[in-house]
Structure 1
Amino acid sequence: MDSTAARRLVLVVDDDALLREFLGEVLRHAGYDTLDAGSSAQALRAIGERGCDVALAMLDIGLPGMSGLELARLLREETDIPFMFLSANEDAASAREAADAGAVGYVVKPVDAARLLAAFEAALARGDDIRRLRRSEAGLSSALAAGRETSIAVGVLMARFHIGRQLAFDVLRDHARAQRRKLGEVAEQVLAAEETLNAVHAALAERMRSR
Protein backbone atom coordinates (compact mmCIF):
# COMPACT_ATOMS: atom_id res chain seq x y z
CA MET A 1 0.00 0.00 0.00
CA ASP A 2 1.48 3.41 -0.90
CA SER A 3 1.56 6.36 1.48
CA THR A 4 -1.37 8.10 -0.17
CA ALA A 5 -3.72 5.24 0.73
CA ALA A 6 -3.72 6.25 4.40
CA ARG A 7 -5.31 9.54 3.47
CA ARG A 8 -8.16 7.97 1.52
CA LEU A 9 -11.54 7.82 3.19
CA VAL A 10 -14.04 4.99 2.73
CA LEU A 11 -17.71 5.16 3.72
CA VAL A 12 -19.06 1.82 4.93
CA VAL A 13 -22.86 1.55 5.04
CA ASP A 14 -24.46 -1.57 6.53
CA ASP A 15 -27.13 -2.13 9.18
CA ASP A 16 -25.10 -4.97 10.74
CA ALA A 17 -22.89 -3.31 13.37
CA LEU A 18 -20.60 -6.35 13.69
CA LEU A 19 -20.06 -6.45 9.93
CA ARG A 20 -19.34 -2.71 9.85
CA GLU A 21 -16.76 -3.23 12.57
CA PHE A 22 -15.16 -6.08 10.64
CA LEU A 23 -15.09 -4.12 7.36
CA GLY A 24 -13.66 -1.06 9.08
CA GLU A 25 -10.95 -3.14 10.76
CA VAL A 26 -9.91 -4.73 7.46
CA LEU A 27 -9.78 -1.39 5.66
CA ARG A 28 -7.97 0.44 8.45
CA HIS A 29 -5.42 -2.37 8.71
CA ALA A 30 -4.83 -1.94 4.97
CA GLY A 31 -4.13 1.77 5.48
CA TYR A 32 -7.48 3.44 4.78
CA ASP A 33 -9.56 5.74 6.94
CA THR A 34 -13.23 4.87 7.39
CA LEU A 35 -16.62 6.38 8.15
CA ASP A 36 -19.49 4.06 8.97
CA ALA A 37 -23.27 4.35 8.84
CA GLY A 38 -26.04 1.96 9.76
CA SER A 39 -28.63 3.37 7.36
CA SER A 40 -28.98 5.47 4.23
CA ALA A 41 -30.07 8.43 6.34
CA GLN A 42 -26.88 8.24 8.42
CA ALA A 43 -24.85 7.81 5.25
CA LEU A 44 -26.36 10.94 3.71
CA ARG A 45 -25.55 12.93 6.85
CA ALA A 46 -21.95 11.71 6.70
CA ILE A 47 -21.74 12.62 3.02
CA GLY A 48 -23.14 16.05 3.78
CA GLU A 49 -20.31 16.60 6.26
CA ARG A 50 -17.40 14.90 4.49
CA GLY A 51 -18.60 13.91 1.04
CA CYS A 52 -15.76 15.70 -0.75
CA ASP A 53 -13.27 13.47 1.10
CA VAL A 54 -14.93 10.11 0.38
CA ALA A 55 -12.96 8.05 -2.14
CA LEU A 56 -15.46 5.16 -2.26
CA ALA A 57 -18.72 4.12 -0.61
CA MET A 58 -19.30 0.48 0.27
CA LEU A 59 -23.07 -0.10 0.41
CA ASP A 60 -25.21 -2.97 1.63
CA ILE A 61 -27.95 -3.53 -0.96
CA GLY A 62 -30.49 -4.64 1.64
CA LEU A 63 -30.53 -1.59 3.88
CA PRO A 64 -33.75 -0.93 5.86
CA GLY A 65 -35.78 2.10 4.79
CA MET A 66 -34.04 3.61 1.78
CA SER A 67 -32.31 0.63 0.15
CA GLY A 68 -28.70 0.54 -0.92
CA LEU A 69 -29.81 0.72 -4.55
CA GLU A 70 -31.83 3.87 -3.86
CA LEU A 71 -28.90 5.42 -2.01
CA ALA A 72 -26.62 4.51 -4.90
CA ARG A 73 -28.89 6.32 -7.36
CA LEU A 74 -28.69 9.45 -5.21
CA LEU A 75 -24.91 9.20 -5.10
CA ARG A 76 -24.78 8.78 -8.86
CA GLU A 77 -27.10 11.71 -9.57
CA GLU A 78 -25.89 14.20 -6.97
CA THR A 79 -22.24 13.38 -6.23
CA ASP A 80 -19.15 11.97 -7.90
CA ILE A 81 -18.59 9.37 -5.16
CA PRO A 82 -18.09 5.90 -6.69
CA PHE A 83 -19.72 3.00 -4.87
CA MET A 84 -19.60 -0.77 -4.61
CA PHE A 85 -22.16 -3.17 -3.18
CA LEU A 86 -22.19 -5.82 -0.49
CA SER A 87 -25.01 -8.30 -0.94
CA ALA A 88 -26.29 -11.54 0.55
CA ASN A 89 -27.57 -12.48 -2.91
CA GLU A 90 -25.25 -14.20 -5.35
CA ASP A 91 -27.73 -14.58 -8.21
CA ALA A 92 -27.00 -13.02 -11.60
CA ALA A 93 -30.06 -10.75 -11.42
CA SER A 94 -28.77 -8.99 -8.30
CA ALA A 95 -25.33 -8.49 -9.83
CA ARG A 96 -26.91 -7.11 -13.00
CA GLU A 97 -29.07 -4.74 -10.96
CA ALA A 98 -25.96 -3.49 -9.17
CA ALA A 99 -24.16 -2.94 -12.46
CA ASP A 100 -27.15 -1.07 -13.87
CA ALA A 101 -27.07 1.22 -10.82
CA GLY A 102 -23.48 2.15 -11.69
CA ALA A 103 -21.58 0.11 -9.09
CA VAL A 104 -17.84 -0.27 -9.58
CA GLY A 105 -17.74 -3.46 -7.53
CA TYR A 106 -19.92 -6.24 -6.06
CA VAL A 107 -19.09 -8.59 -3.20
CA VAL A 108 -21.28 -11.41 -1.91
CA LYS A 109 -21.54 -11.96 1.86
CA PRO A 110 -20.11 -13.57 3.87
CA VAL A 111 -16.70 -12.36 2.79
CA ASP A 112 -13.21 -12.98 4.14
CA ALA A 113 -10.67 -10.21 4.57
CA ALA A 114 -8.44 -11.13 1.62
CA ARG A 115 -11.31 -11.40 -0.87
CA LEU A 116 -12.91 -8.22 0.45
CA LEU A 117 -9.70 -6.20 0.15
CA ALA A 118 -8.99 -7.45 -3.38
CA ALA A 119 -12.51 -6.54 -4.53
CA PHE A 120 -12.36 -3.20 -2.73
CA GLU A 121 -9.05 -2.11 -4.25
CA ALA A 122 -10.21 -3.12 -7.73
CA ALA A 123 -13.39 -1.07 -7.21
CA LEU A 124 -11.41 1.88 -5.88
CA ALA A 125 -9.13 1.85 -8.93
CA ARG A 126 -12.12 1.71 -11.26
CA GLY A 127 -13.80 4.54 -9.36
CA ASP A 128 -10.66 6.66 -9.73
CA ASP A 129 -10.63 6.00 -13.46
CA ILE A 130 -14.26 7.07 -13.78
CA ARG A 131 -13.63 10.27 -11.83
CA ARG A 132 -10.66 11.13 -14.06
CA LEU A 133 -12.75 10.48 -17.16
CA ARG A 134 -15.54 12.72 -15.88
CA ARG A 135 -13.07 15.51 -15.16
CA SER A 136 -11.53 15.12 -18.62
CA GLU A 137 -14.95 15.24 -20.27
CA ALA A 138 -15.89 18.35 -18.29
CA GLY A 139 -12.61 19.99 -19.27
CA LEU A 140 -13.09 19.07 -22.91
CA SER A 141 -16.63 20.44 -22.92
CA SER A 142 -15.38 23.73 -21.46
CA ALA A 143 -12.59 23.92 -24.01
CA LEU A 144 -14.98 23.27 -26.89
CA ALA A 145 -17.40 25.92 -25.61
CA ALA A 146 -14.56 28.43 -25.28
CA GLY A 147 -13.39 27.54 -28.79
CA ARG A 148 -16.84 28.20 -30.26
CA GLU A 149 -17.10 31.55 -28.48
CA THR A 150 -13.63 32.55 -29.69
CA SER A 151 -14.51 31.68 -33.29
CA ILE A 152 -17.71 33.74 -33.12
CA ALA A 153 -15.85 36.67 -31.52
CA VAL A 154 -13.25 36.55 -34.30
CA GLY A 155 -16.07 36.70 -36.83
CA VAL A 156 -17.56 39.72 -35.06
CA LEU A 157 -14.23 41.55 -35.22
CA MET A 158 -13.80 40.67 -38.89
CA ALA A 159 -17.21 42.07 -39.79
CA ARG A 160 -17.03 45.18 -37.63
CA PHE A 161 -13.51 46.28 -38.59
CA HIS A 162 -13.27 44.72 -42.08
CA ILE A 163 -10.13 42.76 -41.30
CA GLY A 164 -8.94 39.23 -42.04
CA ARG A 165 -9.43 36.23 -39.76
CA GLN A 166 -5.79 35.93 -38.69
CA LEU A 167 -5.52 39.59 -37.77
CA ALA A 168 -8.78 39.45 -35.85
CA PHE A 169 -7.57 36.41 -33.91
CA ASP A 170 -4.18 38.00 -33.22
CA VAL A 171 -5.81 41.16 -31.86
CA LEU A 172 -8.13 39.13 -29.63
CA ARG A 173 -5.27 36.98 -28.35
CA ASP A 174 -2.95 39.95 -27.73
CA HIS A 175 -5.68 41.79 -25.85
CA ALA A 176 -6.26 38.74 -23.65
CA ARG A 177 -2.54 38.50 -22.90
CA ALA A 178 -2.30 42.20 -22.09
CA GLN A 179 -5.22 41.85 -19.69
CA ARG A 180 -3.81 38.59 -18.29
CA ARG A 181 -7.10 36.88 -18.97
CA LYS A 182 -8.13 33.72 -20.76
CA LEU A 183 -8.90 34.00 -24.45
CA GLY A 184 -12.39 32.59 -23.89
CA GLU A 185 -13.19 35.25 -21.28
CA VAL A 186 -12.23 38.07 -23.65
CA ALA A 187 -14.26 36.41 -26.41
CA GLU A 188 -17.29 36.37 -24.08
CA GLN A 189 -16.74 40.07 -23.39
CA VAL A 190 -16.64 40.85 -27.12
CA LEU A 191 -19.86 38.91 -27.70
CA ALA A 192 -21.59 40.63 -24.78
CA ALA A 193 -20.52 44.03 -26.11
CA GLU A 194 -21.81 43.14 -29.57
CA GLU A 195 -25.17 42.11 -28.13
CA THR A 196 -25.37 45.41 -26.23
CA LEU A 197 -24.51 47.43 -29.32
CA ASN A 198 -27.11 45.55 -31.38
CA ALA A 199 -29.75 46.20 -28.71
CA VAL A 200 -28.91 49.91 -28.58
CA HIS A 201 -28.96 50.10 -32.37
CA ALA A 202 -32.38 48.45 -32.49
CA ALA A 203 -33.73 50.87 -29.85
CA LEU A 204 -32.30 53.82 -31.78
CA ALA A 205 -33.83 52.63 -35.03
CA GLU A 206 -37.23 52.22 -33.34
CA ARG A 207 -37.05 55.74 -31.96
CA MET A 208 -36.13 57.17 -35.34
CA ARG A 209 -39.09 55.39 -36.96
CA SER A 210 -41.51 56.77 -34.36
CA ARG A 211 -40.61 60.42 -35.12
Structure 2
Amino acid sequence: MSSPASSRRLILLVDDDPVMLEFLSTVVRHAGHDTIEAASAPEALQRIAEREADIALALLDISMPGMSGLDLARRLRDHTGVAFMFLSAVDDSETARTAATHGAVGFLVKPIDATHLLPALESALARADEIRQLRRTEVNLNAALAAGRETSLAVGLLMARFQTDRNTAFEVLRDHARSSRRKINEVAEQMVAAEELLNSLHGAFAARLRSK
Protein backbone atom coordinates (compact mmCIF):
# COMPACT_ATOMS: atom_id res chain seq x y z
CA MET A 1 0.00 0.00 0.00
CA SER A 2 1.38 3.44 -0.89
CA SER A 3 2.14 5.96 1.82
CA PRO A 4 0.23 9.26 1.99
CA ALA A 5 3.25 11.11 0.65
CA SER A 6 3.53 8.88 -2.43
CA SER A 7 -0.17 8.96 -3.40
CA ARG A 8 -1.60 11.50 -5.82
CA ARG A 9 -1.67 14.96 -4.21
CA LEU A 10 -2.61 18.51 -5.19
CA ILE A 11 0.38 20.88 -5.19
CA LEU A 12 0.08 24.67 -5.40
CA LEU A 13 2.94 26.23 -7.39
CA VAL A 14 3.63 29.95 -6.88
CA ASP A 15 6.21 31.75 -9.01
CA ASP A 16 6.17 34.97 -11.02
CA ASP A 17 8.39 33.40 -13.71
CA PRO A 18 6.10 31.67 -16.25
CA VAL A 19 8.93 29.46 -17.54
CA MET A 20 9.72 28.22 -14.03
CA LEU A 21 6.03 27.74 -13.32
CA GLU A 22 5.61 25.60 -16.43
CA PHE A 23 8.74 23.57 -15.59
CA LEU A 24 7.59 22.90 -12.03
CA SER A 25 4.13 21.90 -13.20
CA THR A 26 5.52 19.50 -15.79
CA VAL A 27 7.87 17.78 -13.35
CA VAL A 28 5.32 17.53 -10.54
CA ARG A 29 2.61 16.20 -12.83
CA HIS A 30 5.04 13.69 -14.35
CA ALA A 31 5.67 12.46 -10.80
CA GLY A 32 1.98 11.63 -10.48
CA HIS A 33 0.63 14.67 -8.67
CA ASP A 34 -1.88 17.34 -9.69
CA THR A 35 -1.04 21.04 -9.71
CA ILE A 36 -2.62 24.45 -9.63
CA GLU A 37 -0.52 27.49 -10.46
CA ALA A 38 -0.35 31.09 -9.31
CA ALA A 39 1.88 33.84 -10.71
CA SER A 40 1.70 36.03 -7.60
CA ALA A 41 1.01 35.85 -3.88
CA PRO A 42 -2.47 37.43 -4.16
CA GLU A 43 -3.37 34.91 -6.87
CA ALA A 44 -2.08 32.13 -4.61
CA LEU A 45 -4.31 33.33 -1.77
CA GLN A 46 -7.26 33.20 -4.14
CA ARG A 47 -6.42 29.62 -5.13
CA ILE A 48 -6.13 28.68 -1.47
CA ALA A 49 -9.46 30.31 -0.64
CA GLU A 50 -11.05 28.14 -3.34
CA ARG A 51 -9.33 24.83 -2.55
CA GLU A 52 -7.54 24.96 0.79
CA ALA A 53 -8.81 21.58 1.96
CA ASP A 54 -7.45 19.90 -1.18
CA ILE A 55 -3.96 21.42 -1.22
CA ALA A 56 -1.32 19.11 0.23
CA LEU A 57 1.61 21.48 -0.20
CA ALA A 58 2.52 24.89 -1.66
CA LEU A 59 5.85 25.60 -3.40
CA LEU A 60 6.59 29.30 -2.93
CA ASP A 61 9.14 31.41 -4.75
CA ILE A 62 10.71 33.64 -2.09
CA SER A 63 11.37 36.66 -4.34
CA MET A 64 8.23 37.96 -6.04
CA PRO A 65 7.14 41.54 -6.73
CA GLY A 66 4.61 42.99 -4.36
CA MET A 67 3.83 40.44 -1.67
CA SER A 68 6.92 38.23 -1.38
CA GLY A 69 6.99 34.50 -0.77
CA LEU A 70 7.98 35.20 2.83
CA ASP A 71 4.95 37.46 3.31
CA LEU A 72 2.74 34.82 1.74
CA ALA A 73 4.26 32.15 4.00
CA ARG A 74 3.37 34.18 7.08
CA ARG A 75 -0.23 34.39 5.88
CA LEU A 76 -0.34 30.64 5.28
CA ARG A 77 1.24 29.86 8.64
CA ASP A 78 -1.02 32.17 10.64
CA HIS A 79 -4.34 31.81 8.84
CA THR A 80 -4.45 28.47 6.97
CA GLY A 81 -3.47 24.83 7.34
CA VAL A 82 -1.50 24.75 4.08
CA ALA A 83 2.10 23.53 4.47
CA PHE A 84 4.72 25.16 2.25
CA MET A 85 8.28 24.88 1.01
CA PHE A 86 10.43 27.63 -0.49
CA LEU A 87 12.19 28.04 -3.82
CA SER A 88 15.03 30.56 -3.71
CA ALA A 89 17.60 31.92 -6.12
CA VAL A 90 19.83 32.72 -3.14
CA ASP A 91 21.95 29.92 -1.67
CA ASP A 92 23.11 31.05 1.76
CA SER A 93 22.62 30.00 5.36
CA GLU A 94 20.72 33.16 6.29
CA THR A 95 18.04 32.49 3.67
CA ALA A 96 17.73 28.89 4.81
CA ARG A 97 17.37 30.00 8.43
CA THR A 98 14.72 32.51 7.43
CA ALA A 99 12.81 29.77 5.63
CA ALA A 100 12.97 27.57 8.71
CA THR A 101 11.78 30.30 11.06
CA HIS A 102 8.76 30.86 8.81
CA GLY A 103 7.79 27.21 9.23
CA ALA A 104 8.79 25.85 5.81
CA VAL A 105 8.85 22.06 5.45
CA GLY A 106 11.43 22.26 2.65
CA PHE A 107 13.86 24.54 0.86
CA LEU A 108 15.25 24.34 -2.69
CA VAL A 109 17.76 26.56 -4.46
CA LYS A 110 17.34 27.62 -8.09
CA PRO A 111 18.21 26.57 -10.72
CA ILE A 112 16.20 23.44 -9.97
CA ASP A 113 16.34 20.13 -11.79
CA ALA A 114 13.96 17.20 -11.50
CA THR A 115 16.49 14.98 -9.72
CA HIS A 116 16.60 17.44 -6.82
CA LEU A 117 12.99 18.59 -6.92
CA LEU A 118 11.23 15.23 -6.62
CA PRO A 119 13.00 13.87 -3.51
CA ALA A 120 12.62 17.25 -1.80
CA LEU A 121 8.94 17.35 -2.77
CA GLU A 122 8.20 13.89 -1.37
CA SER A 123 10.10 14.69 1.82
CA ALA A 124 8.15 17.93 2.23
CA LEU A 125 4.86 16.11 1.65
CA ALA A 126 5.74 13.56 4.31
CA ARG A 127 6.61 16.30 6.78
CA ALA A 128 3.42 18.17 5.92
CA ASP A 129 1.40 15.03 6.64
CA GLU A 130 3.12 14.67 10.02
CA ILE A 131 2.27 18.25 10.92
CA ARG A 132 -1.36 17.82 9.89
CA GLN A 133 -1.61 14.67 12.02
CA LEU A 134 -0.16 16.48 15.03
CA ARG A 135 -2.64 19.31 14.52
CA ARG A 136 -5.54 16.85 14.32
CA THR A 137 -4.33 15.10 17.47
CA GLU A 138 -4.07 18.40 19.29
CA VAL A 139 -7.58 19.39 18.21
CA ASN A 140 -8.93 15.99 19.31
CA LEU A 141 -7.01 16.22 22.55
CA ASN A 142 -8.25 19.70 23.37
CA ALA A 143 -11.83 18.65 22.65
CA ALA A 144 -11.51 15.60 24.86
CA LEU A 145 -9.92 17.53 27.71
CA ALA A 146 -12.66 20.13 27.52
CA ALA A 147 -15.30 17.38 27.68
CA GLY A 148 -14.59 16.41 31.27
CA ARG A 149 -12.36 16.64 34.31
CA GLU A 150 -11.80 12.89 34.35
CA THR A 151 -10.22 12.76 30.90
CA SER A 152 -7.79 15.53 31.83
CA LEU A 153 -6.90 13.80 35.09
CA ALA A 154 -6.48 10.42 33.38
CA VAL A 155 -4.11 11.91 30.80
CA GLY A 156 -2.10 13.46 33.64
CA LEU A 157 -1.97 10.13 35.47
CA LEU A 158 -0.68 8.34 32.38
CA MET A 159 1.92 11.04 31.79
CA ALA A 160 3.21 10.69 35.36
CA ARG A 161 3.04 6.90 35.50
CA PHE A 162 4.74 6.23 32.16
CA GLN A 163 6.87 9.38 31.85
CA THR A 164 5.37 10.27 28.48
CA ASP A 165 4.12 13.38 26.72
CA ARG A 166 0.54 14.63 26.66
CA ASN A 167 -0.27 13.59 23.07
CA THR A 168 1.01 10.04 23.57
CA ALA A 169 -0.90 9.67 26.83
CA PHE A 170 -4.11 10.82 25.18
CA GLU A 171 -3.62 8.53 22.16
CA VAL A 172 -3.08 5.48 24.40
CA LEU A 173 -6.18 6.34 26.42
CA ARG A 174 -8.21 6.87 23.25
CA ASP A 175 -7.00 3.62 21.64
CA HIS A 176 -7.81 1.61 24.76
CA ALA A 177 -11.31 3.08 24.83
CA ARG A 178 -11.83 2.20 21.17
CA SER A 179 -10.54 -1.36 21.58
CA SER A 180 -12.88 -1.92 24.52
CA ARG A 181 -15.75 -0.20 22.67
CA ARG A 182 -16.27 2.35 25.40
CA LYS A 183 -16.33 6.12 25.53
CA ILE A 184 -13.05 7.75 26.43
CA ASN A 185 -14.55 9.61 29.39
CA GLU A 186 -15.87 6.30 30.79
CA VAL A 187 -12.38 4.78 30.74
CA ALA A 188 -11.00 7.98 32.24
CA GLU A 189 -13.57 7.92 35.05
CA GLN A 190 -12.61 4.33 35.85
CA MET A 191 -8.91 5.24 35.93
CA VAL A 192 -9.47 8.22 38.21
CA ALA A 193 -11.70 6.20 40.53
CA ALA A 194 -9.08 3.45 40.76
CA GLU A 195 -6.36 6.00 41.51
CA GLU A 196 -8.50 7.62 44.20
CA LEU A 197 -9.19 4.20 45.74
CA LEU A 198 -5.48 3.35 45.75
CA ASN A 199 -4.67 6.68 47.37
CA SER A 200 -7.34 6.07 50.00
CA LEU A 201 -5.99 2.59 50.75
CA HIS A 202 -2.47 3.99 50.91
CA GLY A 203 -3.65 6.42 53.57
CA ALA A 204 -5.40 3.64 55.48
CA PHE A 205 -2.26 1.48 55.43
CA ALA A 206 -0.14 4.40 56.62
CA ALA A 207 -2.55 5.05 59.50
CA ARG A 208 -2.51 1.35 60.44
CA LEU A 209 1.27 1.28 60.54
CA ARG A 210 1.44 4.42 62.67
CA SER A 211 -0.94 2.89 65.23
CA LYS A 212 1.27 -0.16 65.79
Fold in common (TM above 0.5): yes
Give the drift of 1:50.
1.0
**Letter in structure 2 aligned against 1:139:** N
Structure-2 separation of matches of 1:3 and 1:20:
27
Deviates more, 1:2-11 or 1:110-119: 2-11
The aligned residue for residue 21 of structure 2 is 20
1:61/1:138 CA distance change after superposition, 3 Å? same
Q: Does 1:98 align with 2:99?
A: yes
How far is 1:97 from its partner?
A: 0.2
Q: Match for 1:116: what amino acid?
A: L
* Percent of aligned positions that are identical: 60
- Mark the CA change 1:96 to 1:3 in structure 2 (over 3 Å): closer, same or farther: closer
Could you say what the CA RMSD is over the residues aligned between the two structures, in angstroms? Answer: 2.1
Describe the SS at the equivalent of 2:148: helix
Alpha-carbon distance in structure 1 between the residues aligned to 2:80 and 2:147: 25
Partner Cα distance (2:144, 2:42) in 1: 38
Q: Which runs of 4+ in 1 moved over 3 A?
A: 1-7
Count matched residues. Answer: 154
After TM superposition, the structure 1 = structure 2 runs for residues 174-193 of structure 1, keeping only pairs within 5 Å, are none
Unaligned runs of 5+ in 2: 153-182, 186-212
Q: 2:207 corresponds to which residue?
A: none
Q: Identify the range of structure 1 (2-11 vs 85-94) with the bigger mean alpha-carbon deviation.
A: 2-11
Show the 5 A alignment for 1:132-151: 132-148=133-149
Give the equivalent residue in structure 2 for 1:207.
Answer: none
Q: Which residue number in structure 1 is paired with residue 116 of structure 2?
A: 115
Q: State the partner residue of 2:57.
A: 56
Structure 1 residue runs without a partner (length 5+): 152-181, 185-211
Distance 1:97 1:56 in 2: 19
Question: Match for residue 74 of structure 2?
Answer: 73
Deviations 1:140-194 (A, max 9, x none): 111111122889xxxxxxxxxxxxxxxxxxxxxxxxxxxxxx898xxxxxxxxxx
CA contact (8 A) 1:6 1:33 kept: no
Distance 2:124 2:8 in 1: 17
Post-superposition shift, 1:52?
1.1
Map 1:193-208 → 2, pairs under 5 A = none
Quote how far apart the aligned CAs of 1:85 are.
Answer: 0.1
The residue type equivalent to 2:103 in the other structure is: G
Offset at residue 64 of structure 1 (A): 0.9
Query: What's the secondary structure of 1:26's corresponding residue?
Result: helix
* 1:79-114 C-alpha deviation (Å, 9 max, x unpaired): 111000000011000000000000000000001101
Please, what TM-score do these two structures have when normalized by structure 1?
0.68
Summarize deviations over 1:20-73 as a string: whole Å, max 9, x none.
000000000000000000100110111111111100000000011001001001
- 1:7 is displaced (CA, Å) by 3.9
